[in-house]
A and B are shown apart, each in its own frame.
Chain A
Amino acid sequence: MKIEQEVRGRSLIIRLGGELDVKSAPEFREATEAALDRHSSNHLILNLENVSFVDSSGLGAILGRYRRLQQGGGRMSLVAPAPNVRRVMELSGLFKIMPVFRAEERALEG
């Protein structure tokens, strides 16, 4: 899995590429936790544009980061999930707790 990060003020942007499953979810979790620790960000923007696959292991990893942010009074946004990724996410109810934006800039404004 490809993981890119960028800090914009107190927002941390994580861009994922590839498949988010049982194999890659721990990589995502560890990279994101380390970046959140380092930058004390209060807004995590997860860009899913280049994610081709998500299953329950990936959803669990996303929810885990959401919980951490929320406990510290922060928030989390999702950007541009592909239609197939969206369908799995819809089933999980994640869209009810996290806003979804079409582009990173929108999430930064939101």
Chain B
Amino acid sequence: MRTVSSPAPLKNHVRMEMAAVADNVALSRVTVAAFAAQLDFTLDEIEDIRVAVSEAVTNAVVHAYGDADLGGGVNHGGGVNPAGGANPGTVTLEVAHDGEALTIIVTDHGRGIADVALARQPAYTTDPERMGLGFAIMESFSDELEVASEVGRGTTVRMVKRPRAARASGAGEAAGDDRPV
């Protein structure tokens, strides 16, 4: 039973900088899923998180640094650039929780998005081989999605996911709670 003297919820965070290559998309999923296990998520919610992270990191790999003329195909092979050519760029993955909500932040320093509202629309894509579903999936599989981008500087995607169980009990607690809001 929780008492007034119960300790504050644990906090934690991890920050990972990676080459923006296809191999690191699976690594990002595994990392975030393992981290998310520190909260009270259901298996379905962990799946949601895996898909959402995959979309955000894939976008950094495929769109942020690729040659515009080659569309999204440039990094599909993943791995090291042949001939030691252009740097694939980096993507940073940050995950944090405050004991209640999981926050995921994916940042790249690539070309950026000129019109974020347009890019977020379902079926909008600049690559004819793709479906334009990444942002729509992130939106529906997380509780909050924010996209900040500047052309020529890069893109930051921030997502929040809360365990449904915690949300339900959190609401119950809040009713009888006298903490200042």
Contact = CB atoms under 8 A, between A and B. Distances in A.
Nearest to B130: A60
A104 interface: no
Interface stretch (A21-29, A38-46, A72-80): A21-29
Interface string B46-78: 010011001100100110000000000001111
A55 interface: yes
A56 B25 contact: no
Nearest to A64: B129
Interface in A11-64: 19, 21-23, 25-26, 53, 55-57, 59-60, 63-64
Interface of chain B: mostly helix, strand, loop or mixed: helix
Given A56-B55, A84-B47, A23 B129 contact: no
Contact of A53 (B50, B130, B137): B50
A22 B136 contact: no
A22 B22 contact: yes
Interface size class of B (residues with CB under 8 A): 20 to 34
Nearest to A92: B133
A69 interface: no
A19 B51 CA distance: 11
Contacts of A84: 44, 47
A56 B134 contact: yes
A55 B129 contact: no
A88 interface: yes
Interface of B: 22-23, 25-26, 29, 44, 47, 50-51, 54-55, 58, 61-62, 75-78, 129-131, 133-134, 136-137, 140
Interface of A: 19, 21-23, 25-26, 53, 55-57, 59-60, 63-64, 84, 87-88, 91-92
